[in-house]
Structure 1
Amino acid sequence: MRTRVVGILLTLLVVGAIWFTGNRAEDDPRGGPDSEPGGEPGDGASSTAVVTAVVDGDTIRVVPAGSDEERRVRLLGLDAPEVRGTPECGGAEATDVLVDLLPVGTTVTLVGDPTQDDVDRYDRLLRYVEGPDGTDVGERLVASGWVATYVFRDEFERLDRYAAAEDRAEAEGRGAWSGC
């Protein structure tokens, strides 16, 4: 019980520090979750895209089907440790997990969430990402223990699943829970 309380307090401290230091664009060396809305709520629609790059543990680049324009996608409900600027413990590992899950050339399904904005203030699409076999990539990242569940403003539709995956990762000492 005490370990869980310490873990929760540590998570809150990290999220608070991230929030306090401000919003960070992908091109900003610090990266990080958004503190400003960037668009209208998503409609929950899905579309396919091809992965062109993994930026870090919670951001990818894709070319949507029927387009030749590359877009940045911030995976909904997640926060990965930073790899730019001053790298944070677990940032490289979180990125490696995402690279393993979504190699360049992978066709993915991007799913919006009607409870969340469609894009952030950096014009990154805010989406759940599903692999070719339907795997929820965000849930897999959280289950690895290297990526945390993150609620920006409103709870998102997959929060319960992500929180359960994070609880299992902590209980089993996976990823950052093993001593980051």
Structure 2
Amino acid sequence: MSKRHSQKYKIDRRMGENIWGRPKSPVNTRSYGPGQHGQRRKGKMSDFGLQLMAKQKLKGYYGNITEKQFARTYEEAQRRRGNTAENLIGLLESRLDAVVYRSKFVPTVFAARQFVNHGHVTVNGKRVNISSYQVKPGDVVEVRQKSRNMALVLEALDSAERDVPDYIDLDAKAMKATYTRVPEFSDVPYPVKMEPNLVVEFYAS
């Protein structure tokens, strides 16, 4: 099993939830945590524990984001006007790797990061290889011509595993997606319950 797959499943097991809604997740058959003590009965979690879990789950969902990057994203969300929790979700969904994943150009968020880093996508016709690049409403994200026959892309676009959300206008044939607007939390198709308000409480405490 590749490092990327084992890491992905480790996050699922640790959270006790299938956070990407994938059919192959081990949580579908074993809902308890990893390791020899995984099946022990859990006590009531403290408020801090719930906040930490919410932060780890949201951070884990977006792939290989470091603690430092995630904290910086939170700080930016806090600086902006409006609701910090909504701003945080908007910033995370505006990442280029998240837009690539939502557009179904790749099967997983981990693959999206690698796909961007390897220079397979353009934004408004210019190659961008920074996965944290902030896509703006109206920006067009496209798979580069030379990358369009990759099995990874063709299989992901054909997959019925998930739908493209309505804040992305996808032209699957042209392998081109327009990011039409920054979504609100309620627009984002998370397969599990996310609690960005608890993430805000975690950083505020």
Shorter-normalised TM-score: what interval?
under 0.3
* TM-score, normalised via structure 1 length: 0.27
Give the structure with the higher percent helix. 2
Give the structure with the higher percent strand. 1
* TM-score, normalised via structure 2 length: 0.25
